[in-house]
Each structure stands twice: as C-alpha cells, then as structure tokens.
Structure 1
C-alpha cells in the first residue's frame, strides 16, 4: 500500500523513537522529527523532511499522524500541544506516568480519546495473534489461568548507554518495571478478553541497580472467569519472556526467546507454531501498517483497543502495591 501522502511527526529520538523513524522512512512516509536533543547529529538521512526543536515549526508541518515517543512523564504535555490539531496521536506505552493527568486532559476535551492510540506492539506480534486465534478456536477449552513472566537485566537493555540516565530508571520520568514492562499486562488482557474484577500487586527494589523505582513486580488479576499472574523484573541476567495459557482441555506455552508455541492436551505435547524471523521487530512493522491504514481510512484498527484501559490497570497495580491491598475494578 502507498503511504507517501501521509505526513508524520515523531516526537522524541530515544531508542523507540529511532525505531519508528526508521520504519516510517522505509514505508515512504513524509517524516518530520521534533526533539530538544541534537537531532541533526543523530539523523543524517535526506529522507527526513524536517528536524526541529520548535513547536510552531513542527505544527506547521501539518502532520496527519504524530508519534509521541519521548519519556513517559512528558506524554500528557505533548498530547496537549497536539490535541487541537487535525491529527491522530499515537503514544508509545505507557500512556502516562499518572492516569490522573490524562483524565484531566480528557475532562476538558472529551472527544480527544477518539483520536488517541497507545502503542502496545505485542498485539501485532505473530505469536500473540496465533494464540488469540487458537484460544478463540476452543482447542484447549475454557481459559482458567494465564501465567507469564518477563525479565532482563536493565544495563543490558541498551548496550553502550548509561542505564541510570534512561527514563526506565528514574521516577521523575515515569520509569519503573510496572509501567515499562506493561506489555504483559496489555496482551494478557487482550488474550483473555473478559471483564476485570480485582487487581493486586506487590513491588520491590531487590537489586543493587542505581535506580529510584521498583525493579520487580508480581501482578495478580481476577477476571470474570479466569485468573492472570504476571511477573516482571529488570534484574535477571538471562532474558526471559514466556506465557502459559491453561484451559480445561490442556495448555499453550509461548517462549519468545525460542520463537515457539507448544500445546499440551490429552493426546500429548507438540510444537504448533515456530518462526525463524525476528518477530519482535516484525511486530513494530505490522503495528505501523495498522496505524498508517487507520490514518488513511480514518478509522482506528480494532486491534489497538481501548487507549486508556491498560493505563488504568497500571495505576491500580501501583496503588495496590503502595496500599498493600486488593483493588476492586470500577471504571
């Protein structure tokens, strides 16, 4: 599909901003960059239409789409600068560091939610899509329990960078493991597809990392007819991302490091999905295609889901951890 008629403004040039810029340029999108950093020194690509640190100049580009990829704590203030423009606003996860800030924005502009999209790229991961279809096919029966874990040592996330300077390590920028690794919260909810009833969370800082945020979290979510248990950390030296979906006829197990999904039923165990591709990178490509198609058709792809719900879950997780109690789900 042709995307050269779309103008996109990317706000932020960290690792995720760079990824979006690369994918946009590969797709032929007219791309402009807003950053208070030294963008020209970082991006010497003639395909970039505009580099600027001036908001008036950025808005004069008249983008059809804006990608907000700066630190989490700056998301709401960035959305405020864009909200009155005729533009779809794609915000990298999480939506904000405080849900209250976003709710105040919506209170003044109730229609704004219709053009805001939050970037949880694992919804477009081939394995998650396969799991979604398999669960819908009732192969393992009714889902009773999902257990997943994700973890990787923070200094290994971006080799060559000082982890202490990144937003993940700093409370003032909206860091911490619950917000940063909230992909698991989002795709578990996407897979289960049931109303939430209760949430509890325990967090800790158990490492010697020089950070002022939680580095470990255990989340328990009670759905209408299922339970989800999610572990997240940024302390383990051997990376892991895996998920087990238990049904009354068997279970499905996804190992992201091995790019495989196993199924276990009464007939035995076997691999039912595997891939030799870098599926994580492909998930960003597929997400971008869905985003650009949404802009062209002026209708947001259903796979993006509710832009606020996962942030509300995150907020309740952090409240539960702080208050040391179970939080009832009320929206």
Structure 2
C-alpha cells in the first residue's frame, strides 16, 4: 500500500472483454491512482464508466498524458502504434500478449523502451498461474512436455491466428520451463472458420534433448487446458480447468508428496506393481494448488516494477522471443498447407 499522494497514475487503453478486468482490479488497487480509461467504442465506454464509476477519456492522447503507466488491452494490430506513442512520452507500459503483430514491431518496442529506460511488461498471464508455478516446483528435468489448449469458437481474438491467440501462452511457458536453445520446430494446422489458422500443432526440440508438443484449437466443444510432463520416475498431469496436479512417482516416496509440503491437498496413495524388473511402487498424489488471481498477480508485478524499476517477470525481450517462435510456427503451418 502506497500513500495516496505518492501513488503512480495508471490508465487503461481498451475496455473490451479483457480490458474491463484490468479496470476492475486497478480502480480499487491500493497502490495506484487509477485515472481512467479510453475505448473507441463510445457505447462500451459509457457502460464501463458507469459500472466501475471511473472516468472515460474522450481521446487516448489525454489519457496517456495523464498517466505514468498504461495498460494496452487492444486488438494486437494496434499494440505497436499505441506502445510507441506511450514510450515516446516516457510512459511505462503493460501490453497484453502478443507484444505485437510482427517481429519488426516488437523489436522497435524493445529498442525504444531500452533507450528511454521505460518498463515494458507483456501479458503472458500463465507465468502467474499458481497451478503452473506449483508444477514447476515438482518437476526437475522433464524430457517430454505436452500442452493442450482448446476452446470453443468465438469471434473475439480471430483477427490473429490461433498460434498468436492461444498457443503463444504455451510457447512462453515452454521457454520458461526449458533452459536450452531450440534446434528444430515442426508444425501443422488448419484454417476452418475464416482466413486465419484455427487449429495448430507444434513440436519443438531443444538442444538438451527436451521435446515439447503443443496443441491449440479454438474449435472445440469444451475448454481444455492440460499439461503433461514426463521424466525419469515421474509423470505429471496438470488440469488447469479444475485446477489440480496429479503426480505418479515410481520407486520411492518423494518428499514432494508429503502432507506438510502439499498444504491444501494430501491424497498420497501407494501401490505395488509387478514388472519385468521386479516389484515397484507407484506413489500417486493429487495436489490442489492455492488459489490466486493470476491477472492481479500480473498487475502487481507491473506496479511493483514501476516503483522499483526492476525488470518484469515477462519483459519486452521475453515477449519478443515468444512472438518469434509463434510466428515461425505459423509460417511452417502455412508452408505445409
């Protein structure tokens, strides 16, 4: 909590589906002075202004001038122009993912922010997902990671291919989980509802031998968000929709499965199975992670970095890297077609 007269001034550009969630958190945040928002849709702006009792600016220039930091929550094709405008006026920015539509645009955002010493945070929200962060404490050295992200079709987000809409989340996750260079990318997909790819599959191989399989689709009956990891004597299944993590430890009872460490859920079971190598024990556990609002945690990181001038967990450089891989996946899908 920061003294009211010393609070930074934050504004939001874009009050659509996601923008209004940013506004909801910011308008009551104890460490900021929320100055208001801008949305080009006047009808939407009026509704949001009344719902949260916040100021709706008539033009984006006035909002930028009135703020120390801006949340850019617009369609991807507008990210670059707004970001550069903010940075040239020495404003810190939070850009929803992906950072931009092209590598050239993202590189300019990073270059200008570096020159002006401004904070750039990119909204890869899964970095703040408590279930994923709990999983990262369990796995040690997986050699195979599989991530599945499926969603029913909706018009929102279809201005970009599914790789930039959904898969880019998991590309960023893989880059955070595997500390090694990518040596090969294979990809395939399909365009079904319009001119952009709606279903995508990517296989990414790293120099340390780790292989990641990513599957994304925005044509599904239900939402599916699952992560499976495989390593010696440990198999995990993470369901982000429940959320829960299931672990299968082979051979010894891991300290990770102790009641004291699991906290909110300890359902360790033990089973002996006969194998060609003799009798082995399988220890099964179901872990229910602590509940946290990932978007609020992400916003808190941005606010903290404005005050401390520390580098955000997902800065512009990391956002650029995720975009580079996503666009390579997209290019391979198009070339395969």
TM-score of Structure 1 vs Structure 2, range by shorter chain: 0.7 to 0.9
1:215: which partner in 2?
Answer: 198
2:182: which partner in 1?
Answer: 196
Query: Is contact 1:90-1:119 (8 Å) kept?
Result: yes
Structure 2: distance between partners of 1:217 and 1:321 = 8
Q: What is the Cα deviation at residue 302 of structure 1?
A: 3.5
3-state SS of 1:26 partner: coil
Structure 1: distance between partners of 2:220 and 2:226 = 14
Structure 2: distance between partners of 1:47 and 1:320 = 47
Query: Is contact 2:13-2:60 (8 Å) kept?
Result: no
Query: Is contact 1:131-1:191 (8 Å) kept?
Result: no
Asked which structure has the greater CA Rg, the reply is 2
| Larger CA deviation: 245-254 vs 39-48 | 39-48
**Count of aligned positions:** 298
Residues 183, 269 of structure 1: alpha-carbon distance in 2 compared, 3 angstrom cutoff: farther
Q: What is the Cα deviation at residue 83 of structure 1?
A: 1.1
Structure 2: distance between partners of 1:91 and 1:309 = 15
3-state SS of 1:285 partner: helix
Query: Is contact 2:230-2:236 (8 Å) kept?
Result: yes
Stretches of 4+ aligned residues off by more than 4 angstroms: 104-110
Q: What is the Cα deviation at residue 95 of structure 1?
A: 0.9
| Larger CA deviation: 73-82 vs 39-48 | 39-48
Tell me which of 39, 42, 48 is aligned to 1:42. Answer: 48
Structure 2: distance between partners of 1:148 and 1:46 = 36
Residues 268, 307 of structure 1: alpha-carbon distance in 2 compared, 3 angstrom cutoff: same
3-state SS of 2:27 partner: helix
Tell me which of 85, 89, 92 is aligned to 1:88. Answer: 92
RMSD over equivalenced CA pairs, Å: 2.3
Query: Is contact 2:147-2:228 (8 Å) kept?
Result: yes
Q: What is the Cα deviation at residue 107 of structure 1?
A: 5.9
Structure 2: distance between partners of 1:25 and 1:312 = 34
Residues 295, 105 of structure 1: alpha-carbon distance in 2 compared, 3 angstrom cutoff: closer
Within a 5 Å distance, the mapping from 1:151-230 to structure 2 comes to 151-155=150-154, 163=155, 166=156, 168-170=157-159, 175-181=160-166, 182-206=168-192, 209=193, 211-225=194-208, 226-230=210-214
Structure 2: distance between partners of 1:316 and 1:245 = 24
1:322: which partner in 2?
Answer: 334
| Larger CA deviation: 305-314 vs 256-265 | 305-314
Tell me which of 223, 234, 250 is aligned to 2:218. Answer: 234
Residues 237, 285 of structure 1: alpha-carbon distance in 2 compared, 3 angstrom cutoff: same
Q: What is the Cα deviation at residue 212 of structure 1?
A: 2.3
1:296 aligns with 2:300: no
1:252-307 Cα deviation digits (max 9, x unpaired): 11011221101112142423421484x5xx11111111111111111123355723
Structure 1: distance between partners of 2:74 and 2:60 = 14
Structure 2 unaligned blocks of 5 or more: 251-280
3-state SS of 1:83 partner: helix
1:51: which partner in 2?
Answer: 56
1:257: which partner in 2?
Answer: 241
Residues 113, 198 of structure 1: alpha-carbon distance in 2 compared, 3 angstrom cutoff: farther
1:27-59 Cα deviation digits (max 9, x unpaired): 1432220221111233215652x3223233123
Q: What is the Cα deviation at residue 251 of structure 1?
A: 1.4
Within a 5 Å distance, the mapping from 1:79-118 to structure 2 comes to 79-104=83-108, 111=115, 115-118=119-122
1:25 aligns with 2:34: no
1:228-248 Cα deviation digits (max 9, x unpaired): 000000111021100001112
1:12: which partner in 2?
Answer: 14
1:64 aligns with 2:68: yes
TM-score under structure 2 length normalisation:
0.81
Structure 1 unaligned blocks of 5 or more: 156-162, 326-331
